[in-house]
Structure 1
Amino acid sequence: MSTDVAAGQRPVIELAEVTFRRGERTILDSISFAVHRGEHWALIGPNGAGKSTVLGFCGALIHPTSGTVDVLGHRLGRVELQALRRSIGHVNPRHPLTSPLTLREVVLTGLTGSIEIPLRWQPTPAQLRHADALIEQTGLAGKNEEKWPTLSQGERGRALIARALICQPDLLLLDEPTTGLDVAAREQLLVTIAALEHNHPELASIVVTHHLEELPSSTSHAVLLKDGRIVRSGSAADVLTTEHVSFAFTYPIRVGQHGRRWFALASPDDGPDLDAENYVQTCST
């Protein structure tokens, strides 16, 4: 049980019977789960499962058609969103940044939430020290003055984590953070994300990915989605099983762990019955 649950503290994120429709199409149907402080969640599922929409609720970017979404103790629809978003760090490797700013300056822009070229404000000495500490923490020590365009894609990904952390958020959202990285850059990034459980023990995080191999070793919980519905949610060990993942992806996949890292392999000869009726309802109860 989460320490927050035991202490009776409110979740960082709580979705209750959330449905989202676009026109006549139902994107999400009756989604419910809660994230507490210090937990590190993964949103897993095939393309079109609804992962990005769920992340939009968690980031206070969209409102549900029905149901309730509470973010950092505030209910969407009853709170000023800009103020709420300042307590949420968001990492998106597709960030359209083509800035000539230095790495340190890019990290500092996380304090304002916008890219200013050049910086039109003077950071305080404390803010500069904090930026440099985060740069070192994310494995980029010595690159503070390097220009953004000269950084590799992997370095940019870690820099965006530092940028998201500089405002000291309560929640960190990572939207497919390893997209486009080679194996070395991917592993460096995953090590950086995994270190959050020690460097920022109160921080809650949510990672969106299609691939179990791209989950950081710190992953404690997961939501497995299929066609806009939850197949299973809860502790990662209970959710990321051969049976559940095979059903979600409509293909027999053997799931396992090596240490604290997950792997998935095609297993066409011994997969579960992927057409089992009422599978989602059974697993969700």
Structure 2
Amino acid sequence: MVHVLEFNDVSVVRNGRAIIDGLTWRVDESERWVILGPNGAGKSTILQLAAAMLHPTKGEADVLGERLGRVNVFDLRTRIGFSATNLARRIPPYETVDNAILTAAYAVTGRWREEYDKVDHDRAREVIEAWDLEALAARTFGTLSDGEQKRVQVARAVMTDPELMLLDEPAGSLDLGAREDLLYSLTEYAKSPLAPAIVMVTHHVEEIPPGFTHAMLLADGKAVHAGPIGETITNEKLSEAFGRSLEVSSSGDRYTARAAD
């Protein structure tokens, strides 16, 4: 198998505190990973490393076969799809949805004077249709609901046909209907043999799309457990990661969790 991510004893230290502490982890091209853990566990920091937006303080981090610290990260980032709320804030509110997606071809967040080829326009239309955004294409980003903006963010990340997809709380803050609509689309994407490796961060097991294969549970910057999803999302392991007694149940490929009685 091809490792799209390979971290060996990776630590990220800020102000003397290890945000990530000695992480060794590998992601293969056919895998779909979800990362869960309490606030401050280091979930988003791992995504920043995987997105080549951050370098480890210690250890070796390889992304798509390239060693961080020895590669032009600007070139590397063009091969990675990344959807996160902080990136969405950089999309101008007056930008139309079709342009918000199209501009991913140049890794910019606002249309200016750059010229796009026919292949870029064709790809943008293909993505807009695949993510059910046709009715929103002419709308401006700032007029969309949270759920609509989240869908545009993911579609934008898909636009460049990435070799690695990173999703930072894609269903965060969504109402039930919007969450389920987005999870349906993410499920279809995750199950496609043409999709790249995917790593998603979430706080809630209810937001794990069917089709995800592996899970990592973090606590205090350390990987408490990691492996096949069915072996990792369990009462004992989830309780250890979150520091309280939890009960997990599943129906089909969906999970729910609550405090144990």
TM-score (norm 1): 0.87
The question of whether the paired residues in 1 share the 8 Å contact of 2:93 and 2:143 is answered with no
Residue in 2 that maps onto 1:167: 160
Aligned match of 1:62: 54
Task: Return the alpha-carbon distance in structure 2 between the equivalents of residues 241 and 91 of structure 1.
Answer: 28
CA contact (8 A) 1:169 1:203 kept: yes
Q: Deviations over 1:54-105 (max 9, x none)?
A: 1111111111121110000001111111000110111013421333121111
Counterpart contact for 2:11–2:21, Cα < 8 Å: yes
Identity of aligned residues (%): 37
Other-structure match for 2:5: 13
Is the CA contact 1:93–1:178 (under 8 Å) kept in the aligned structure 2?
no
Distance (Å, rounded) in 2 between the aligned partners of 1:261 and 1:20: 32
Higher-Rg member (1/2): 1
1:172-211 → structure 2 map (5 Å cutoff):
172-199=165-192, 201-211=194-204
Aligned to 2:95: 101
Q: Conserved in 2, the CA contact under 8 Å of 1:49 and 1:228?
A: yes
Q: Counterpart of 2:236 in structure 1: which amino acid?
A: E
Secondary structure of the equivalent of 2:3? coil
Structure 1: any 5+ residue segments left out of the alignment?
A: 5-9, 269-285
> Hey, what does 1:112 align to over in structure 2?
106
Q: Give the superposition deviation at 1:200.
A: 5.6
Tell whether 2:224 aligns with 1:224.
no
Q: Which moved more, 1:239-248 or 1:128-137?
A: 128-137
- 1:125 positional shift: 2.4
Partner of 1:91: 83
Equivalent residue for 2:24?
32
Does residue 140 (structure 1) correspond to residue 140 (structure 2)? The answer is no
Q: Is the 8 A contact 1:132 1:144 kept in 2?
A: no
Q: Which residue of 1 aligns with 2:242?
A: 249
SS in 2 for 1:255: strand
Give the aligned partner of residue 239 of structure 1.
232
**Number of corresponding residues:** 259
Q: How has the CA–CA distance of structure 1 residues 127 and 120 changed in structure 2, closer, same or farther, with 3 Å as cutoff?
A: same
**Aligned-pair distance for 1:199?**
4.1
Task: Return the alpha-carbon distance in structure 2 between the equivalents of residues 197 and 243 of structure 1.
Answer: 27
Q: Please state how far the C-alpha of 1:142 moved relative to its aligned partner.
A: 3.0
Task: Please list the CA deviations of residues 83-139 of structure 1 after superposition, one character each: whole Å capped at 9, or x if unmatched.
Answer: 0011011101342133312111110011111122x4322322222121111111112
Q: Using the alignment, how far apart are the partners of 1:88 and 1:12 within structure 2?
A: 10
Q: Deviations over 1:179-215 (max 9, x none)?
A: 2110100111111111113446340111111111111
